[in-house]
Amino acid sequence: MLVTRRNFLQTAAVGATGVALVAHSPAQGGPETPPAKKGRIKQSLAWWCFARGGVAPEQLIKEAAAIGYASIEMGPREYWDRIREAGMAIAIVGGHRSLTDGLNRRENHDRIEDELLKNIELAVQYEIPSLICFSGNRRGLSDEEGIEITAEGLSRVAQAAEEKGVTLCLELLNSKVNHPDYQCDHTWWGVEVCKRVNSPAVKLLYDIYHMQIMEGDLIRTIRNNIQYIAHFHTAGNPGRRDLDEEQEIYYPAVMRAIAETGYQGYVGHEFVPKGDPLEALRRAFALCDV
């Protein structure tokens, strides 16, 4: 499943229950009005996780809009117009190829610059606010070397991104379970890259699942670094599955902390559902609608 996500980003970019259930009032014998959505968190879903299990693309788009999702992200380009026609945004897509061969190698900079510049133009066309970027694997690089080189690579396109109003989001991933040797695996590392570039167009994709594995202390870290975060991802830990009571992250508290910072970006659900994908989307939306 992880390979599916990795391959998808390389190809697509370049080139609690209750929302859907009807309660009955004993006094009146009829359906109650569903609770109003709070909407403090703009929720998104990652296409690759949910366009599976027999769910047709058109059905996924229709149901996501009906649930209240503000975005579908990382979807195939052939569906971008349909997503927008359904009233949703495309919050983020991949900005360049190769998660493992990324910005921490100077020999990759020419390629990545070209890919990012092309995808910045595509993002403008479809009003996509952010593009995902990757540090790449360490392969023996020290933290300082990796930070310096990654910042150099992002600096090459930061001004173009600023001028077009697109944010380049360096993704934080765990190197313990899913992405061995990936270098941008701690918040401080990604923040230091952002500081070196010193551009409002270069921020982080803070993946809550990945950072729970590497660091924990989620709420404090988010509060202290929110100025460097432009996008969030969710998933249950361990297992990268549903945001349920069998995993260890208490998402309502994390979502409240995010909302209380005044964050205006998107929170994208990037977990692999255990059962029916649409029901998983309903439960995740209700849980995170704080």
Calculate the average pLDDT of the chain: 91
The DSSP line for 222-258 is HHHHGGGEEEEEE-BTTTTB-SSTTSS--HHHHHHHH
Region 174-190 average pLDDT:
98
Pair 171, 125: CB distance under 8 Å = no
- The dihedrals phi and psi of 234, each to the nearest 5 degrees, come to -125, 160
Q: Which of 135, 142, 144, 148 is nearest to 100 (CA)?
A: 135
pLDDT tens-place string over residues 53-77:
789 999 999 999 999 999 999 999 9
- The dihedrals phi and psi of 130, each to the nearest 5 degrees, come to -140, 150
**Lowest-pLDDT choice from 2-11, 42-51, 124-133:** 2-11
Query: What's residue 196's pLDDT?
Result: 98
Query: What's residue 31's pLDDT?
Result: 46
Is 27's pLDDT higher than 50? no
* Residue type, position 145, single letter: E
The confidence band for 14, taking pLDDT boundaries of 50, 70 and 90, is low
pLDDT tens-place string over residues 254-276:
999 999 999 999 999 999 999 99
Query: What's residue 35's pLDDT?
Result: 65
The topology (CATH level 3) of 2-13+41-288 is TIM Barrel (3.20.20)
**Distances in whole angstroms, Cα of residue 147 to Cα of each of 57, 101, 178, 188, 204:** 39, 15, 21, 10, 14
Record the pTM: 0.89
HSE toward the beta carbon, residue 134, CA cutoff 13 A: 26
Is 19's pLDDT higher than 50? no
pLDDT tens-place string over residues 157-168:
999 999 999 999
Is 199's pLDDT higher than 70? yes
The confidence band for 52, taking pLDDT boundaries of 50, 70 and 90, is confident
Is 249's pLDDT higher than 50? yes
Quick one: what percent of the chain has pLDDT higher than 90?
86
Domain spans of the chain, in order of start: 2-13+41-288
Region 170-184 average pLDDT:
98
